[in-house]
């Protein structure tokens, strides 16, 4: 397994459970962390922890019961009953990592090359290590080295906007703001933009009231070229293509973002945005591929398709890929046949998800046709609500 994030961990644990001698090689020298990354916790993302690891859902996720929209004045203009679960990247990663045996997970292993044979695949790492395996799964993320080599023509396409993200401790919110946002995912939609706010576990996974965080995701349009490049140039003058981690965004862009929030957003939502100490930025891309299986190797998760976040299905897709991969390997005795079957199924999932999130994104960021209560806007991997 090349890559030890959520998708790689899920696939590794499932392969171990089926009896495989599985090893995970992660290029980072340290355990992974993503500060402030809230996630919609869809059933596919929950599945391993709740069905195999015996983790109680209430211990790792926050339940909300409403989808709520506010107008510019902070008044509720739409409120419908709908149950969601929200967690954080860190919380889920820690739980999956706790299931891994120490000798399975190898930090500080950056893959630089691999050679596929008829029966095995040899992988070379920058630290001089070489390993051979019957199957190699590339789960090396958005910037996948494997995808770039295997499918050099498959390049991410900028969607025309970014997601500003951040979090604030719920104890720092006023009583009125907390009561408005509690037990809901709360939206505000205005010209060529929308923002959503929802509760997530605390930094160390706390789910008790008073210890949780509120997470915001704010989609804002930036023109390709100098406009986007200026935003994505960090405090050290380095141009970043995919994301700006907390603390790296230029103070003038943070100040501009907060000023717009105070001027344009409903007060409860603006309170969350302006209260976030270190907001960060994720560039929104689309990327579709034509193949996921290559002999005894395959792509998984964000190393394959990159879909916009509007279905809250990024981590769910990676987990679904993992379950599908293992089901194919259990069904077929021939490894290459199993990977072809995996590819056929998950190409459909990836394409459908990408097309649906493209439609949703266009509605808010460009077309102005986002309508509160539209069932297509419900989160879900394979369809709204599914």
User: Is residue 376 domain-resident?
Assistant: no
Q: Give me the residues paired with residue 84 across strands.
A: 64
Statement: residue 217 has pLDDT above 90: yes
Is the domain of 141 the same as that of 188?
Answer: no
Report helix angle 43-51 to 89-98, nearest 10. Answer: 30
Give the CATH number, domain containing residue 252.
Answer: 3.30.9.60
**Token code pair at residue 345:** 């199924």
- Name the pLDDT band for 35 (thresholds 50, 70, 90): low
Is the domain of 145 the same as that of 17?
Answer: yes
- In this structure, the number of other CB atoms found within 10 A of the CB of residue 114 comes to 20
User: Is residue 61 domain-resident?
Assistant: no
* End-of-domain residue from the set 285, 307, 333: 285
Phi and psi angles of residue 43, each rounded to the nearest 5 degrees, phi first: -55, -35
Residue of 61, 71, 261 whose CA lies nearest to 166 = 261
Phi and psi angles of residue 355, each rounded to the nearest 5 degrees, phi first: -65, -40
Is the domain of 20 the same as that of 151?
Answer: yes
Is the domain of 22 the same as that of 171?
Answer: no
Q: Residue 385: which region, alpha, beta or left (left: phi > 0; alpha: psi -120 to 50)? A: left
Over residues 302-317, the mean pLDDT reads 96
Is the domain of 167 the same as that of 205?
Answer: yes
Q: What is the pLDDT of residue 52?
A: 97
Statement: residue 202 has pLDDT above 80: yes
Over residues 292-301, the mean pLDDT reads 97
Is the domain of 276 the same as that of 304?
Answer: no
Over residues 254-275, the mean pLDDT reads 98
Is the domain of 203 the same as that of 275?
Answer: yes
Is the domain of 241 the same as that of 310?
Answer: no
- Give, in order, the Cα–Cα distances in Å from 142 to each of 139, 250, 350: 9, 23, 14
User: Is residue 95 domain-resident?
Assistant: no
* End-of-domain residue from the set 262, 285, 308: 285
Expressed as residue numbers, the domain containing 225 is 66-84+158-285
User: Is residue 100 domain-resident?
Assistant: no
- Name the pLDDT band for 31 (thresholds 50, 70, 90): confident
Helix residue spans in the chain (DSSP H): 6-17, 43-51, 89-98, 145-150, 175-181, 226-231, 251-264, 267-275, 314-331, 335-362
- Name the pLDDT band for 30 (thresholds 50, 70, 90): confident
pLDDT of 64-83, one tens digit each?
999 999 999 999 999 999 99
* End-of-domain residue from the set 267, 285, 303: 285
Q: Are 299 and 7 in contact (CB under 8 A)?
A: no
User: Is residue 92 domain-resident?
Assistant: no
Is the domain of 138 the same as that of 197?
Answer: no
Over residues 266-295, the mean pLDDT reads 97
Statement: residue 36 has pLDDT above 70: no
Residue of 301, 314, 353, 333 whose CA lies nearest to 11 = 301
Place of tokens 């498959």: 154
User: Is residue 202 domain-resident?
Assistant: yes
Percentage of residues in the chain having pLDDT higher than 90: 96
Is the domain of 313 the same as that of 241?
Answer: no
CB-facing half-sphere around the CA of 221: CA atoms within 13 A: 14
Q: What is the pLDDT of residue 34?
A: 65
Is the domain of 230 the same as that of 316?
Answer: no
User: Is residue 15 domain-resident?
Assistant: yes
Number of domains in the chain: 2
Q: Are 308 and 361 in contact (CB under 8 A)?
A: yes
Over residues 155-181, the mean pLDDT reads 96
User: What's the farthest any 2 CA atoms get from each other in the chain?
Assistant: 65
Is the domain of 270 the same as that of 173?
Answer: yes
Strands 130-133 and 121-125 turn out to be antiparallel
User: Is residue 57 domain-resident?
Assistant: no
Give the CATH number, domain containing residue 111.
Answer: 3.50.50.60
pLDDT of 40-63, one tens digit each?
999 999 999 999 999 999 999 999
- Name the pLDDT band for 313 (thresholds 50, 70, 90): very high
Q: What is the pLDDT of residue 102?
A: 85
């Amino acid at each position: 397994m090349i890559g030890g994030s959520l998708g790689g961990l899920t696939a590794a644990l499932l392969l171990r459970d089926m009896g495989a001698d599985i090893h995970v090689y992660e290029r980072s020298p340290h355990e992974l962390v993503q500060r402030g990354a809230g996630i919609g916790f869809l059933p596919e993302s929950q599945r391993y922890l709740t069905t195999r690891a015996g983790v109680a859902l209430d211990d790792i996720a926050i339940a909300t019961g409403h989808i709520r929209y506010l107008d510019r004045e902070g008044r509720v203009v739409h409120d419908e009953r709908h149950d969601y679960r929200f967690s954080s990247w860190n919380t889920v990663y820690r739980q999956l990592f706790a299931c891994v045996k120490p000798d399975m997970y190898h930090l500080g292993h950056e893959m630089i090359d691999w050679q596929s044979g008829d029966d095995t695949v040899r992988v070379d790492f920058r630290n001089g290590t070489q390993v051979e395996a019957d199957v190699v799964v590339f789960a090396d993320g958005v910037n996948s080295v494997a995808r770039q080599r295997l499918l050099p023509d498959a390049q991410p396409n900028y969607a025309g906007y970014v997601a500003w993200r951040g979090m604030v401790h719920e104890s720092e919110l006023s009583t009125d703001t907390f009561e408005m946002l509690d037990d809901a995912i709360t939206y505000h939609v205005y010209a060529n933009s929308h923002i959503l706010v929802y509760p997530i576990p605390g930094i160390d996974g706390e789910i008790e009231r008073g210890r949780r965080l509120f997470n915001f995701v704010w989609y804002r349009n930036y023109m390709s070229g100098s406009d986007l490049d200026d935003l994505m140039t960090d405090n050290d003058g380095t141009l970043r293509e995919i994301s700006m981690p907390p603390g790296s965004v230029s103070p003038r862009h943070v100040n501009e973002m907060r000023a717009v929030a105070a001027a344009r957003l409903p007060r409860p939502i603006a309170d969350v945005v302006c209260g976030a100490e270190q907001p960060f930025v994720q560039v929104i891309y689309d990327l579709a591929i034509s193949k996921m299986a290559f002999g005894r190797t395959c792509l998984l998760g964000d190393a394959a398709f990159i879909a916009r976040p509007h279905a809250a299905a990024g981590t769910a897709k990676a987990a679904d890929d993992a379950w599908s991969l293992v089901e194919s390997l259990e069904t077929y005795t021939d490894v290459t046949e199993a990977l072809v079957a995996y590819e056929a199924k998950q190409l459909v999932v990836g394409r459908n998800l990408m097309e649906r999130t493209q439609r949703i994104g266009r509605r808010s960021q460009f077309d102005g046709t986002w309508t509160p209560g539209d069932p297509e806007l419900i989160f879900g991997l394979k369809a709204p609500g599914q």
